[in-house]
Amino acid sequence: MAKKTRKSKNAKPALTWFFPSTDHGEAHGFSDEQLQYFEGDHERYIARETIQNAVDARLDDTKPAVVIFEELKIRASDLPGNDMLSDKMKRCLKFAPNDEKAVPFFNNAINLLKSRDLTVLKISDFNTRGLTGSDEDIEGNWYRLVRAAGMSSMKGVGGGSFGIGKGAPIAASSLHTVFYSSINEKGEPVFQGKARLVSHIDRDNDIKQRTGFYGIDGYKAVRNQRNIPAFFRRSERGTDIFIMGYNATADWKEKLIKSVLQNFWLTIHHGDLEVLLKNGDTKVINKESLREDLETYAPEETKAYYASVVNSTQTFEQELKFLGKCILYVRKQDGYPRRIMMARKPKMFVTDKSNHVLREQYAGVFICEDDKGNRLLRSLEPPEHDKWDEKRAENGATVIRELEGFIRQSLKSMSAMFSIPPQDIPGLDRYLPDSDEKDSVDRQETESVEETDLSGEQETWRQIGATKEPEALETEKVVRKGIVTNKQSAKIIAGTTPGGFGNGGGMNSKPIGTEEGETAGSRIKTSNINFRSFVQKIKDDLEYHFAIAGREDCEGGIKIITIGDDSAYPAEILSARNLDSKEIYQSEGPLIGGLKIKRGETLRLAVKLGSKKKYALGIESYEN
């Protein structure tokens, strides 16, 4: 008897597939709410969902979480419980004989299980906590990932809030079958299979549920290393996911790389993630390779977002009432999309949004770093985690208003137009960039400006900048944005006397840079300022107003130019004064001297020209 008992204890338990009975409950067809979100671009969803879970479960925050995607082959006959699963596929086909999606799926699955080889995508993470908890521990990550539907596998500030993302690997399987293998904090292994099919009738005429498990008696996880099939064993803490019958295309690896870079470049840049892809050779994506990888694989917008973080024009950090600590990186550069990437603490790309507050082209990255703020933003995300929808939570509108207000005010501070007191200029909004939402600002009295009678489509800078006849001035009613020229042909020779000025050309002189001996004295670098300009009619006279905001402390002179059809020409300045202090500045020809501009402050300048004609004015670019 004792011998029999010892033999029983040492015997391996039977592993089987188990699909619970509906017990006269609801049956399910092929349409699956947990998988429908992830149909189509499998690599995109696999990368987003599995990497997000790995980053959330990082064990040592001083080191990156490591995720490895590896394409493997096994014999179809070696798939655990192959014969039983094949029988289930046939019964599912009989249960949904007229479903236009189910029929081809199950026919293909049956053929795959009879074929020689199966493609498997193995997703392994390291420097992660592993899946904790017993089969009955509903708070444990094992139960939440493998056994539960609609429950997030992660708790805390990261991860998803729906628990639907775990459907992405299943959706990428031609068998809708995956296996999980993990080693937890105690060094204990745990293994189980899972399939999401359709309800079906078994041999006893009982209707079974769509979801089944492979393990001890089916529903129990295997927690003894020697009972786990060798192909699925782990030796290090962390988790493996095996996608059986992976829908691999010839370019699956490149698609995964692109998804990793688009969604997690910020995580990688911060040293929180490293990704390896294997299918014969190995591709490593980490902080050191990131710049080159982005250049090779990433779209232009992603490259712009990356540049805005590593080489920002300005960085804003603020403690907001609801969202806590938030950071905004902004980089100005021609060709950039005027969009801002949104991310929260896992630093995964959520969405991006256009914002035209800033006149110049730019790209930006917003990050919410606060735990409470992350929970609020997560509550506004749909199952795909691809936007923040204010309607998804009671206080959603308040949270979004605060977020967008922070971004809008930050961008405004970079634009000289918004550094001056707001002015009530009729029709001005037709010519100036605006944000996605109109601002409500207090209005102040100002001199009236004639409103243009030309549409925005008709009116171009060439039309406005062209020389006008005197009678045309009366009917042309224009508000102009400021323009900085950057003519490579310009030849500016620095003067020897600080604040001194050379001879400037008149309104009908040659283009800038063609006059011999032109000097500028002490000139302000245009990279140190932002500016806007517009024209106002004061009684029967024209006055040009400039708002010049300092990026850095600077002092010296600027050169005012008129913008024509083909070239820029020096302006003939009659007078220049400070609108606030009433100080009169020295001017000669197109040059104004003696300006002092402090970083973050705005100098408001009123300029009158010698000519009564209307021109588009700018400040000539100067960087020497």
> Highest mean pLDDT: which of 129-143, 159-173, 459-473, 496-510?
129-143
Look at the alpha carbons of 112, 117, 118, 119 in this order and tell me if their dihedral is positive or negative.
Answer: negative
Gap between the Cα atoms of 97 and 509, Å rounded: 85
pLDDT (tens digit per residue) in 223-281: 999 999 999 999 999 999 999 999 888 899 999 999 999 999 999 999 999 999 998 89
Angle at 336 between CA 335 and CA 342, to 5 degrees: 165
Question: What is the predicted pLDDT for the residue at 4?
Answer: 46
Gap between the Cα atoms of 415 and 345, Å rounded: 29
Given a contact cutoff of 8 angstroms between Cβ atoms, the answer to whether 542 and 479 are in contact is no
| Phi and psi at residue 161, to the nearest 5° | -105, 0
Question: What is the predicted pLDDT for the residue at 138?
Answer: 87
Q: pTM (2 decimals)?
A: 0.66
pLDDT (tens digit per residue) in 63-117: 999 999 999 999 999 999 999 999 999 999 999 888 899 999 999 999 999 999 9
Gap between the Cα atoms of 437 and 427, Å rounded: 17
pLDDT (tens digit per residue) in 511-535: 333 333 344 458 898 888 888 888 8
Gap between the Cα atoms of 522 and 534, Å rounded: 26
Question: What is the predicted pLDDT for the residue at 15?
Answer: 94
Output the CA–CA distances (angstroms, integers) from residue 576 to 392, 460, 493, in the order listed. Answer: 54, 27, 23
Give the length of the chain.
624
Question: What is the predicted pLDDT for the residue at 12?
Answer: 75
Stretch (H or E) spanning 267: helix 252-269
| 31-45, 430-444, 470-484, range with the lowest pLDDT | 470-484
How far apart are the two ends of the chain, measured CA to CA in Å? 98
* CB contact set of 208 (below 8 Å; sequence gap of 6+): 19, 20, 21, 22, 199, 200, 201, 202
The amino acid sitting at 508 is N
The amino acid sitting at 463 is Q
Partners of residue 608 on adjacent β-strands: 575
Closest CA to 603 of 536, 540, 538, 558: 558
Closest CA to 65 of 294, 249, 273, 225: 273
Gap between the Cα atoms of 85 and 90, Å rounded: 9
Percent pLDDT > 90 in the chain is: 51
Question: What is the predicted pLDDT for the residue at 415?
Answer: 74
User: How many other C-beta atoms can be found within 10 angstroms of the C-beta atom of residue 250?
Assistant: 6
User: Across the chain, what does the average pLDDT equal?
Assistant: 80
Strands annotated E in 235-323: 238-244, 273-278, 282-285, 314-320
Question: What is the predicted pLDDT for the residue at 573?
Answer: 92
Give DSSP secondary structure letters for 392-457. Answer: GSTTHHHHHHHHHHHHHHHHHHT-GGGGSPP---TTGGGTS---SS------------PPP-S-TT
Gap between the Cα atoms of 622 and 493, Å rounded: 11
Given a contact cutoff of 8 angstroms between Cβ atoms, the answer to whether 604 and 578 are in contact is yes
Token pair for 510: 């040659």
| 185-194, 226-235, 362-371, 453-462, range with the lowest pLDDT | 453-462
Partners of residue 570 on adjacent β-strands: 561
Question: What is the predicted pLDDT for the residue at 564?
Answer: 60
Look at the alpha carbons of 85, 91, 96, 99 in this order and tell me if their dihedral is positive or negative.
Answer: positive
Stretch (H or E) spanning 182: strand 177-183
Given a contact cutoff of 8 angstroms between Cβ atoms, the answer to whether 306 and 314 are in contact is no
Given a contact cutoff of 8 angstroms between Cβ atoms, the answer to whether 195 and 34 are in contact is no
Gap between the Cα atoms of 146 and 218, Å rounded: 13
Closest CA to 357 of 423, 433, 299, 422: 433
Question: What is the predicted pLDDT for the residue at 165?
Answer: 62
Partners of residue 597 on adjacent β-strands: 554
* CATH among 3.40.50, 3.30.565, 1.10.3470, 3.90.550 for 15-287: 3.30.565
Q: How many helices (H) and strands (E) does the chain have?
A: 13, 26
Stretch (H or E) spanning 608: strand 602-609
Gap between the Cα atoms of 325 and 35, Å rounded: 35
- Collapsed DSSP state (helix, strand, coil) of residue 153: coil
pLDDT band at 157 (very low <50, low <70, confident <90, very high): very low
User: How many other C-beta atoms can be found within 10 angstroms of the C-beta atom of residue 300?
Assistant: 11
Sketch the domain layout of the chain as residue ranges: 15-287, 299-413, 461-620
Gap between the Cα atoms of 570 and 591, Å rounded: 9
Closest CA to 195 of 47, 84, 101: 84
Token pair for 361: 């082209």
Gap between the Cα atoms of 82 and 175, Å rounded: 11
pLDDT (tens digit per residue) in 337-382: 999 999 998 899 999 999 988 888 999 999 999 999 999 999 998 8
* CB contact set of 447 (below 8 Å; sequence gap of 6+): 536, 537, 538
Output the CA–CA distances (angstroms, integers) from residue 134 to 184, 188, 438, 577, in the order listed. Answer: 11, 11, 54, 78
pLDDT band at 618 (very low <50, low <70, confident <90, very high): confident
Gap between the Cα atoms of 417 and 426, Å rounded: 16
Look at the alpha carbons of 88, 89, 95, 101 in this order and tell me if their dihedral is positive or negative.
Answer: positive
